[in-house]
Amino acid sequence: MQYLYFIQQALVWIITIYWVYQLVISLCSFIKLKDKPLVDDKEHKFVTIIPAHNEEQVIGNLIESLKKQDYPHELYDIYVIADNCTDKTADVAREAGVSVATVSYIMNNRTDMKISEETRKKVLQIANLLNYRPSQAAKSLATGRNSMIGLAYRLNPDTPSRNLDLINFSNLLIERLNRLKLDVLFLPVSDTLVINRNIDGIIAIDLSHKDFALLSNNCFVPIISVDMLINDSLFYQIYSDMPVLIERAHERLGNDFAVVLEPYENEAYLEYITQNIPGENIILTSSFAETATKIKGRKVLIIGTCLALMLRSYISDSDMAVISCSEYEPPLPESVYVYQNDIAKKANLTINILLNALDRKFEVKHDHKIAPL
């Protein structure tokens, strides 16, 4: 029975300790402890940013409330990122330290206003932290533009090499336009053409006279024509000087060679390319088998890298030269001589002329030949 005695004593001690603990806790509740701050005493400097567009009715109270905060005023700033406001938000924003006009000009990259470099950097830094972008609708109202360019061309299932060249050149244009913060909208050319009214200008590439007439008769914005001859002083035309490249091929191939190319949509430009070539030496690819038969045993100049790759097995490298319409090095052996079009220059000139036209800075010269590399 001795073990029952030890169990009884253990229970007594456990209950005693428990009640003593409860008593101590109860007594401590009557002792007032010194309050400790929830945060350290160090004061931090920060910025309050308010994005706003036409917030005249509410922004005044908001800024007033922020200024009444129990915090040293010299340790925080208030900035209003105003997005092309048309009401009296500007009057309130000036009390915040940066005017609405200043912010708008900085965000829209305006250079016609005198803005200190310190203010410019501060506003841009805040905008970057917020991943802020100006409202496109508001920006359009202020600048009169929608920052959208139309790209018009027609892909022909019978001309795969020409299609590839069109796509490569289009990608080059899109890349450069995007760098300028311009969006690009593809305009499929058809008899039921519908023009987006938000387009600021159009780049048309190798369209037939019928397609170009349809396009120009349905939109009234600057149109830049590329690789097509319009012969209308209302429109700029920019095109590669192919005859120069064909003339150079005589040094490689001699005087008797055939020029192989896929048909162009623009009839006048195709005539320009082949103007100095005898009719019997012009081979327009219609079917692959027929073209392969015509070039067998002949010296040929092929326009288009993709077309050259498809026909290469039918021609010896020494009897072939290629005109490349790509900015990249063509995947052809060194034994095949390649003449390079300067499509980078063509893309840059196209965009420069378009931007000038959008700014109503019209050039006198409307015909631009791009010399090869």
Q: What is the DSSP string of 11-80?
A: HHHHHHHHHHHHHHHHHHTTSPPPP--SS-S----EEEEEEESS-HHHHHHHHHHHHTSSS-GGGEEEEE
- What are the pLDDT digits (tens) for 29-69? 667 656 555 555 566 777 677 777 777 777 777 777 777 78
Higher pLDDT, 107 or 268: 268
- What are the pLDDT digits (tens) for 267-283? 999 999 999 899 899 99
Q: Tell me how far apart the alpha carbons of residues 220 and 196 are, in angstroms, rounded to a whole number.
A: 11
Q: Averaged over 96-125, what is the pLDDT? A: 55
Work out the mean pLDDT of the chain and round it to a whole number.
79
Q: Tell me how far apart the alpha carbons of residues 314 and 316 are, in angstroms, rounded to a whole number.
A: 7
pLDDT at 346 over 80: yes
Q: What is the dihedral of CA 85, 88, 91, 96, to 10 degrees?
A: -50
- Give residue limits of the domains in the chain: 46-143, 148-238+346-370, 242-341
Q: Tell me how far apart the alpha carbons of residues 105 and 299 are, in angstroms, rounded to a whole number.
A: 61
pLDDT at 306 over 50: yes
Q: Tell me how far apart the alpha carbons of residues 49 and 79 are, in angstroms, rounded to a whole number.
A: 5
- What are the pLDDT digits (tens) for 130-144? 555 555 545 554 555
CA 68 to chain centre: 44
pLDDT at 295 over 70: yes
- What are the pLDDT digits (tens) for 119-133? 566 665 655 555 555
- What are the pLDDT digits (tens) for 159-216? 888 999 999 999 999 999 999 989 999 888 776 666 666 788 899 999 999 998 888 8
pLDDT at 78 over 80: no
Q: Tell me how far apart the alpha carbons of residues 229 and 282 are, in angstroms, rounded to a whole number.
A: 20
Query: Are domains 148-238+346-370 and 242-341 of this chain identical in fold?
Result: yes
Which secondary structure element, helix H or strand E, spans residue 124, and what is its range? Answer: helix 117-130
Q: Averaged over 247-259, what is the pLDDT? A: 89
Q: Tell me how far apart the alpha carbons of residues 105 and 116 are, in angstroms, rounded to a whole number.
A: 12
- What are the pLDDT digits (tens) for 360-370? 777 678 889 99
* pLDDT attached to residue 302: 92
Third-level CATH fold of 242-341: Rossmann fold (3.40.50)
Q: 360 φ, ψ to 5°?
A: 60, 30
- Please state whether 84 falls in left (phi above 0), alpha (psi between -120 and 50) or beta: left
* Side chain identity, residue 31: I
Q: Tell me how far apart the alpha carbons of residues 299 and 261 are, in angstroms, rounded to a whole number.
A: 14
pLDDT at 101 over 50: no
CATH number for 148-238+346-370: choose from 1.20.1530.20, 3.40.50.2300, 3.90.1150.10, 3.30.420.40.
Answer: 3.40.50.2300
**Straight-line distance from the first to the last Cα atom of the chain, in angstroms, rounded to the nearest whole number:** 112
